[in-house]
Structure 1
């Protein structure tokens, strides 16, 4: 399964080769592969590659959100792929993070103006009944900051003075893990998400 981020948050076409996100199942989780232009803007955050790093949404980043539409439980994977840092947040409801800094198998390669990243997203990180998805790419500094999205805000929903907001869950689209794993597959129970309901 492959997705191409071809629009800005408000529906305009991007002016460069689109970011692509590939998803395929593995026994241990979902393999996510990102291919994207490398803008090197803003400069990389400090810290060690291959480690979690907070506030990545302020840098050049690709994000994938997996949502349970029933509970608004969100597994949010932020990958600052160009420099090898990442951040995983588990959210319950809109902007309510309850777990972060979770470990992740992650690797990145960069060649001049392009980069590729691969991450294994463990099944235990996905909320029960995951059925919605959206993905985002952000780069640039100051007034040149660009917010790109797989499923943008529809034109009839745009309002004057509106700012990009990737937590508008109603614009996420249907996503069925069984299209990748087969109809007989079921998402393994997760002790992580069970702990939220206690």
Structure 2
């Protein structure tokens, strides 16, 4: 029993010394560091402190640096989008300007086409009128040539326009040639009023 008692005392003493050692080399330096007091530079403590520093939150300077880079990237992206929007707006304005120019040209061309159509209609009407007039001349020349000369002269003298009268005389000449007959235009002129007959003959002799 005496031997067992000595062993128990020895274990307790050893345990107490181990606790004192731990307090001296681990707990005490941590306590001194927390209180801001100079303490022992225990290698074990130093490793623990470094591990805690490495695993702790990132420094504020690093976080701010990342934020600045992200803000710069967003600013560049925003500026790029602004430039593209401006370029698109300029292209749309140019397209709209060209579209308005084309529409103005179409209106001018449309107005010109309408004017040409109107002129064509006028020309067609005038040509139709000329055709009708020529047809009437030939018909009148035929009728005059187939009636007694005195009656034909009476009708011709009722034509107030010298030019229209001359046109009837020339139409009678063309009708006579087509029929292989002698024209009576010279006979009609000789039976007209001398003054007007002289004027008619002078105008017919003068090229127009």
Considering only CA atoms, is the larger Rg found in Structure 1 or Structure 2?
2
The question of a shared fold, defined as TM-score above 0.5 by the shorter chain, is answered with: no
Which is richer in helix?
Answer: 2
Higher RCO (CA < 8 A, seq sep 6+): 1
TM bin, normalised by shorter chain, reads under 0.3
Which is richer in strand?
Answer: 1
Normalised by the length of structure 1, the TM-score is 0.18
